[in-house]
Structure 1
Amino acid sequence: MYHCRLNAEKSIINLALYVSFFPQLIAGPIERARDLLPQFNQLKLRFSQEAIYWITLGFFKKMVVADNLAPFVEKIFNPDIQVGAVDYLWGMYAFAIQVYADFSGYSDIALGVALLLGVRLHQNFRQPYFASSFQEFWRRWHISLSFWLRDYVYFALGGSQSKRTLFTYRNLLLTMLVGGLWHGASWTFVLWGALHGALLITERPWLGATIHYPALRFLKQCWVFHWVALAFVIFRAKSVSQAIEILRQIGEGIGQIVGAFDLETFPKVGCFFAVVLGLLDWGQKKQWFIPTASNNGWRYWLRFGILTGLFWAIMFFGVFRGAQFIYFQF
């Protein structure tokens, strides 16, 4: 409204609904008034295939993937429990998948519930672990927060408009520090934001380079994913000292091709369905079964088969007494 992009809302009911719209209220996506308010004038209950798709996918991510990985992650990051170096390495991967499945699962459920009410929210995650740069990762991870930080912090600081490259680097670093502090007043969040700022700065001179070979693109995706996963260790740790110790143990675990770990607590179900989630993300990236696609042809039946499989996975392998969503604490 300040920039005259939207007329002042005269309906107190619509304004109250915007402030309290429950599907996206607790953990996002962060919706702007210009996108949400106009839709409140056309509210209508709609039972659509797309809504069922997002709700089912969201519950699968949360109950089958995230909640089956949660006990193992809790054990790894418990400072009172000592585990082997290989366990810490597996724990790094497990939490990277857990936090993605947990948070994107909530966002998918919110998107589906809003569609049932006739409101379309923005997709908050777009296969972030397939990103081939850290800039692309932040365009795919918690998209609404990334755009908010870009518009209200990065651009407010000057963005990349300055002719001095160091000013652009300063703006990137400060923006990511604010993003870290947004999660809480802890040094671990500050370090997490600082590391992502440093990664964005380091890659910036080479962002324009084109990768012609799929194998090289895959290697770059692996590079980005592993740095993001390492950063999540700092994010998840209860203190900086614990994060440093876990990272040291991970370094030792990498050097052990075969290591001993506790098979009894190893999240076999969670790991299996994490692979399934990766295949689903890959199929979505290829637009093989996007919910807005035509209902005719093989895409319809593929989508129907996937929804059926996800439903039974939830019924048989879902954790019905799992923990609350991770991002409810932020």
Structure 2
Amino acid sequence: MLFNSINFIVFLIVVFSLYWFLYKKPNAQKLLLLISSNIFYAFWDYRFLALLNLTIFIDYYCGKKIQLSTFTHIKKRYLIFSITSCLSILFIFKYFNFFIDSFRNFFSIDINSSFLPFANIILPVGISFYTFHGISYVVDIYNNKITAEKKIVNYALFVSFFPLLVAGPIERARNLLSQITEKVIYFDYALASNGLRLILIGFVKKIVLADNAAVFANEIFGFSDQYNGATMLLGGFFFAIQIYFDFSGYSDIAIGTSKLFGYELIRNFDYPYFSKNLIVFWQKWHISLSSFFRDYLYIPLGGDRVNSTLLYIRNIMVVFVLSGLWHGANYTFLLWGLFHGSIVIITKFTFKIKYLKEQLTKIPLLISYAFTFLIVILGWIIFRSENIDQVKSIYSKIFSSSTFQKPYFENGSMSYKILFLIACYFIIEFISYKKKLASPSELLLIIKNKKIRYIIYILITLAILSLGNFSENSFIYFQF
């Protein structure tokens, strides 16, 4: 069930109405949300409901055992069992064929050989997200940061809450589960209004910006052998726009929908394309994933506190390589992780040289933003490519004289409309960023006259209806 579909709008209205009809019965509200979340997931493929609930039960059971155990080795045993079980499930469904293929290529085994056959495996939607929910939960219990949840309904709702189930944000029990177990939910008009504004902006991002940019990105990357370097760089720009507005639009709708039910999710984007370097970019992009790897991998490995330079480099590269592979079983994602990890390492060591750091701080911010955005685009080209050969082909064009030629592609003249819309939205984002607002939707609150504000809401809705791409395109991060 896509957020940008009539089915979801009807589903949301029904669940919202029933939820607040039961406002004096908090347990019934939670049970309703849990059942609704399972129905929501069943729309994708009901067969994987059992897998979702299996991982929920494993983590819930192990969390209780870790909490009740008095011996460290017993706690560690259940921790390892929980993490190993969930990661094994993730590996089988997401990476099994990738590693079989890699093994065959390394040892030159014939693909038609009966040895190490491919399995016909379907990737369950959202598995990468709900797996990380469970891991953070049991690790936090083990580290005495939270206590194990007593009621399985509460824990199951934390993991499967439908707004974040299939593409995040990757929540922490300290935030969402604590609200589910402790917070008394009353209808908050201001919170719900904020949620509706976020949903509206999310639809603008997805339907108007991301899906229209996708038309040009798909055309250019789909026929990359026909275009010059300048066109491929433009294709990278369109994909950078597509993936940002697609994913941040999803996050806005997810966060906004949660507010309608009285819950606050963590922020997932903080104007990432206004970053003066790649280190800052990763503090602003997919924040819930970046912070997960920081807290549960980078810091446990020693982070930047290690005494060895090699260990410091290792820690950074491990995080970025695994971050790349988290996105999918493809060498392009691995290369994308290596690309970002290498640039981050170079940036960190550059800042350690006092003279270079002083010179870099003198560069105007807009130039820093533009340069960082260019680096990010080069990374997105790797991410968007089908295979390494396509990456090589595109890069060879970009880093050649053809980059200085005029870009061209079919329907190129139609791209001016979307480029104008993108420019307008980024101006709005920049104003919101300078005002330190969490979202451009908060700009609307500056307008005190309610009538004018409602007129603007109507105009935004009309803009979505007139300019939007209503092909019900899936969100990019659903495939991860």
Q: How far apart in 1 are the matches of 2:444 and 2:470?
A: 34
Query: Is the 2:228–2:398 Cα contact (8 Å) retained in structure 1?
Result: no
1:181 aligns with 2:335: no
Mapping for residues 47-86 of structure 1, pairs under 5 Å = 47=189, 48-78=192-222, 82-86=226-230
1:254 aligns with 2:394: no
Q: How far apart in 2 are the matches of 1:304 and 1:159?
A: 49
Name the SS of the counterpart of 1:235 in structure 2.
helix
Equivalent residue for 2:384, pick from 236, 239, 259: 236
- 2:433 aligned residue: 285
Name the SS of the counterpart of 2:296 in structure 1.
helix
Name the SS of the counterpart of 1:130 in structure 2.
coil
Name the SS of the counterpart of 1:22 in structure 2.
coil
Give how far 1:292 is off.
5.9
Query: Is the 1:68–1:269 Cα contact (8 Å) retained in structure 2?
Result: no
Name the SS of the counterpart of 1:5 in structure 2.
coil
Give how far 1:297 is off.
6.0
Q: Report the TM-score when normalising by structure 1.
A: 0.91
What letter corresponds to residue 465 of structure 2 in structure 1?
Answer: M
> Per the alignment, do residues 102 and 303 of structure 1 end up closer, same or farther by CA in structure 2, a change over 3 Å counting?
farther
- 1:325 aligned residue: 475
Q: What RMSD, in angstroms, separates the aligned Cα atoms of the two structures?
A: 2.5
Identity of aligned residues (%): 37
Q: How far apart in 1 are the matches of 2:452 and 2:346?
A: 41
Query: Is the 1:46–1:117 Cα contact (8 Å) retained in structure 2?
Result: no
Give how far 1:273 is off.
1.7
- 1:273 aligned residue: 421
Which deviates more from structure 2 when the two are superposed, residues 282-291 or residues 32-41? 282-291
> Per the alignment, do residues 281 and 304 of structure 1 end up closer, same or farther by CA in structure 2, a change over 3 Å counting?
farther
**Number of residue pairs aligned between Structure 1 and Structure 2:** 328
Name the SS of the counterpart of 2:145 in structure 1.
coil
Q: How far apart in 2 are the matches of 1:4 and 1:198?
A: 34
1:37 aligns with 2:177: yes
Query: Is the 1:65–1:271 Cα contact (8 Å) retained in structure 2?
Result: no
Which deviates more from structure 2 when the two are superposed, residues 262-271 or residues 241-250? 262-271
Q: How far apart in 2 are the matches of 1:37 and 1:259?
A: 50
Query: Is the 1:92–1:230 Cα contact (8 Å) retained in structure 2?
Result: yes
What letter corresponds to residue 15 of structure 1 in structure 2?
Answer: Y
What letter corresponds to residue 380 of structure 2 in structure 1?
Answer: F
Give how far 1:233 is off.
0.3
Query: Is the 1:58–1:108 Cα contact (8 Å) retained in structure 2?
Result: yes
- 2:339 aligned residue: 195
What letter corresponds to residue 20 of structure 1 in structure 2?
Answer: S
Equivalent residue for 2:316, pick from 165, 172, 178: 172
Q: How far apart in 2 are the matches of 1:259 and 1:20?
A: 45
Deviation track 1:12-48 (CA, whole Å, cap 9, x = no partner) reads 2211111210101111110011100121143344453
Q: How far apart in 1 are the matches of 2:153 and 2:209?
A: 38
> Per the alignment, do residues 32 and 233 of structure 1 end up closer, same or farther by CA in structure 2, a change over 3 Å counting?
same
- 1:117 aligned residue: 261
- 2:270 aligned residue: 126
Which deviates more from structure 2 when the two are superposed, residues 177-186 or residues 7-16? 7-16
Give how far 1:207 is off.
3.8
Equivalent residue for 2:237, pick from 78, 93, 109: 93
Q: How far apart in 2 are the matches of 1:88 and 1:298?
A: 45
Name the SS of the counterpart of 2:303 in structure 1.
coil
Deviation track 1:124-176 (CA, whole Å, cap 9, x = no partner) reads 01110001111110110000000001111211221111122221111101110
What letter corresponds to residue 315 of structure 1 in structure 2?
Answer: L
Query: Is the 2:224–2:232 Cα contact (8 Å) retained in structure 1?
Result: no
Give how far 1:82 is off.
2.1
Deviation track 1:280-299 (CA, whole Å, cap 9, x = no partner) reads 22122122765568956669
What letter corresponds to residue 425 of structure 2 in structure 1?
Answer: L
Which deviates more from structure 2 when the two are superposed, residues 163-172 or residues 16-25? 163-172
Give how far 1:268 is off.
3.0
Query: Is the 1:86–1:261 Cα contact (8 Å) retained in structure 2?
Result: no
Name the SS of the counterpart of 1:128 in structure 2.
coil
Query: Is the 2:444–2:453 Cα contact (8 Å) retained in structure 1?
Result: no
Mapping for residues 140-219 of structure 1, pairs under 5 Å = 140-207=284-351, 209=357, 216-219=364-367
Q: Report the TM-score when normalising by structure 2.
A: 0.64
What letter corresponds to residue 381 of structure 2 in structure 1?
Answer: V
1:20 aligns with 2:20: no
Give how far 1:117 is off.
0.5
Unaligned stretches of 5+ residues in structure 1: none
Unaligned stretches of 5+ residues in structure 2: 1-140
Q: Which has the higher contact order (CA 8 A, sep 6+)?
A: 1
Q: How far apart in 2 are the matches of 1:294 and 1:85?
A: 41
Name the SS of the counterpart of 2:417 in structure 1.
helix
What letter corresponds to residue 324 of structure 1 in structure 2?
Answer: S
Query: Is the 2:333–2:382 Cα contact (8 Å) retained in structure 1?
Result: yes
Query: Is the 1:57–1:108 Cα contact (8 Å) retained in structure 2?
Result: yes
Q: How far apart in 2 are the matches of 1:238 and 1:106?
A: 24
